[in-house]
Amino acid sequence: MTSTTFSSLPLSLEFLANLESLEYTSMTPIQAQSLPVILKGIDIQAQAKTGSGKTAAFGIGLLHMLDAQTYLTQALVLCPTRELADQVSKEIRRLARPIANTKILTLCGGTPIGPQLASLEHQPHIVVGTPGRILKHLQKGSLKLDHLKMLVLDEADRMLDMGFYDDIMLISEMLPIKKQTLLFSATYSEQIKNISNAFLKDPVDIQVESLHDDTKIKQVFYEIQKNDRTKTLISLLEKYQPESSVVFCNRKQQCQELADDLWQRGFHALALHGDLEQRERDQVLTQFSNKSSSILIATDVAARGLDIKDLNAVINFELSPDPEIHIHRIGRTGRAGNAGMALSLFMASEAAKVNAIAEYQGIPVNIESASSLKSHENFKLIPPMVTLCINGGRKDKIRPGDILGALTSNTGLPGNRIGKIDLFNTQAYVAVEYPIAKQALKILTEGKIKGRKFRIRKL
């Protein structure tokens, strides 16, 4: 029987105290099975479901072997998307708090290369990024990995889905032979085996039950009539009133149409899909995570790897034809032990998809009739917060405290009614409670931040 307490691992007291402050009281199954092996320096290939805590599994492993006194790049984490890379960096930063001066750099495509080149003038300890951009830096010589000690391939199957096979193989040829490699993937395919043969030495195989334990996720399928999708969706929002939900569609065009439609009906719904520009994506994710938008409408590609805290519900507006993708989707709710809901709409003609899911899960599905759902004409799901957008950011040397100060000092607005503050290079976003949004907008518009006037608008 493997122990599930972090203190059973050879970690320093400071490190354990930090885990406790993150409220990581015990190891998740993947952590309990993989960490003892990782900490011994052995290669692993691990298979585990979404939300099982893989990031901390490799994050703790790589911080443990890191020599923070030596300013050389010692660990590389490859991720499929920029969002995922950002989340991994964030998690590693939180885990690294007890280790002074740990430098972590995120290198992804879709952002200008100039600032990345500047950041690479001093070697970071840890690099997290997407394969295309990492390869580019390796080929340019801007990223030096001669002293790499650990390589992590996170969501390897997703990286392959996104067409990164060749890039990953080219990267592998440019890395030192002697290093530890950790490969994480939800599924195994021929290509994954090729990758694992190219990268791993005598790996230990780790598998954690890949299906969700149904007590955490309440899953219901609703049979609908043709043309009743939007109406049923709204009834479900009324019935369950989820504070945060992701609604899945199969195509990006459908996402946008549904978002526009819900918006017209007075819902704060935002679409997340591949056609958005980076700034639009940041804006959508910021509003969703600070609770000023309660409905995120996404395609599978766009939502890949997102770890959004406190997701109350996943709603399948359209069923995925692939039962494995269905499992990925619903894995976004009920994370790390919280209760979640997965609600799926289907038409009688799609019964085969429902059966495929039931078979894949190995448990019968719970089907209810959509006609029993009630809805009221004027129902609105009002998010608890409102986002104000400021046309200044890190480049203007604005810090979160400056914004909080502008809102609360000598204004009568209490700090506890101000929510998350997100800073980007040229923009900042602050969430404020819905009832004080007007007042906050007025204060910021008429006042100054760091002695300067900024343009403020309500999103």
Within 209-238, the residues that bind ligand ADP by CB under 6 A are: none
- For residue 216, give every residue at least 6 positions away whose Cβ sits within 8 Å of its Cβ, in sequence order, or none: 334, 337, 338, 339, 340
C-alpha distances in Å from residue 243, one per residue of 151, 168, 307, 312 = 38, 39, 16, 7
Within 51-90, the residues that bind ligand ADP by CB under 6 A are: 51-56
Give the residue, chosen from 45, 50, 244, 254, that forms a contact with ligand ADP under the rule CB under 6 A: 50
* Residue positions counted in the chain: 459
Q: Measured at the alpha carbon of residue 159, what is the angle toward residues 156 and 162, in degrees to the nearest 5?
A: 155
Q: Would you list the DSSP string of 318-335?
A: S--SSHHHHHHHHTTSSG
Which residue's CB atom is positioned nearest to Mg ion? 54
157: contact with ligand ADP by CB under 6 A: no
Choose among ligand ADP, Mg ion, none what residue 336 binds, the Cβ cut-off being 5 to 8 Å by kind.
Answer: ligand ADP
Q: Are 420 and 384 in contact (CB under 8 A)?
A: no
- For residue 59, give every residue at least 6 positions away whose Cβ sits within 8 Å of its Cβ, in sequence order, or none: 88, 91, 92, 95
Q: What are the start-end ranges of the H helices in 22-106?
A: 29-39, 54-65, 82-95
Q: Could you tell me the smallest distance in angstroms from the CB atom of residue 208 to Mg ion?
A: 13
Q: Could you tell me the smallest distance in angstroms from the CB atom of residue 84 to ligand ADP?
A: 8
Within 244-273, the residues that bind ligand ADP by CB under 6 A are: none
Summary count for the chain: helices (H), strands (E)? 17, 18
Q: Is 350 exposed, middle or buried (0-12, 13-18, 19+ CB in 10 A)?
A: middle
Q: Could you tell me the smallest distance in angstroms from the CB atom of residue 48 to ligand ADP?
A: 6
Give 28 or 123: the residue with its C-beta nearer to ligand ADP: 28
**Which helix (DSSP H) or strand (DSSP E) does residue 185 occupy?**
strand 180-185
The first and second tokens of residue 276, run together, are 């958005």
Give the residue, chosen from 28, 74, 185, 427, that forms a contact with ligand ADP under the rule CB under 6 A: 28
Per-residue contact track with Mg ion, 29 to 68, x per CB under 5 A?
-------------------------x--------------
DSSP bridge partners of 272: 298
Give the residue, chosen from 27, 62, 381, 421, that forms a contact with ligand ADP under the rule CB under 6 A: 27
- For residue 422, give every residue at least 6 positions away whose Cβ sits within 8 Å of its Cβ, in sequence order, or none: 282, 286, 290, 428, 429, 430
CA-CA distance, 382 to 396, in Å (whole number)? 33
Give 54 or 268: the residue with its C-beta nearer to Mg ion: 54
Instruction: Identify which range of 22-30, 122-130, 316-324, 356-364 contacts ligand ADP by CB under 6 A.
Output: 22-30
Q: Could you tell me the smallest distance in angstroms from the CB atom of residue 399 to ligand ADP?
A: 25
Give the residue, chosen from 83, 307, 402, 433, that forms a contact with ligand ADP under the rule CB under 6 A: 307
Give 5 or 409: the residue with its C-beta nearer to ligand ADP: 5
Choose among Mg ion, ligand ADP, none what residue 208 binds, the Cβ cut-off being 5 to 8 Å by kind.
Answer: none
Give 216 or 450: the residue with its C-beta nearer to Mg ion: 216
Give 34 or 232: the residue with its C-beta nearer to ligand ADP: 34
CA-CA distance, 412 to 409, in Å (whole number)? 7
Q: Would you list the DSSP string of 414-428?
A: -GGGEEEEEE-SS-E
Q: Could you tell me the smallest distance in angstroms from the CB atom of residue 236 to ligand ADP?
A: 25
Q: Could you tell me the smallest distance in angstroms from the CB atom of residue 11 to Mg ion?
A: 21
Q: Could you tell me the smallest distance in angstroms from the CB atom of residue 400 to ligand ADP?
A: 21
Q: Could you tell me the smallest distance in angstroms from the CB atom of residue 51 to ligand ADP?
A: 5
**Which helix (DSSP H) or strand (DSSP E) does residue 246 occupy?**
strand 245-248
Give the residue, chosen from 133, 335, 353, 417, that forms a contact with ligand ADP under the rule CB under 6 A: 335
Q: Are 222 and 295 in contact (CB under 8 A)?
A: no
Q: How many residues bind ligand ADP (CB under 6 A)?
A: 15
Within 295-334, the residues that bind Mg ion by CB under 5 A are: none
Give 89 or 344: the residue with its C-beta nearer to Mg ion: 89
Choose among Mg ion, ligand ADP, none what residue 402 binds, the Cβ cut-off being 5 to 8 Å by kind.
Answer: none
Residue whose pair of structure tokens reads 């919280």 in the numeric block: 338
Give 88 or 258: the residue with its C-beta nearer to ligand ADP: 88
**Interface residues with ligand ADP (CB under 6 A)?**
24, 27-28, 31, 48, 50-56, 307, 335-336
- Binding region for Mg ion (CB under 5 A): 54
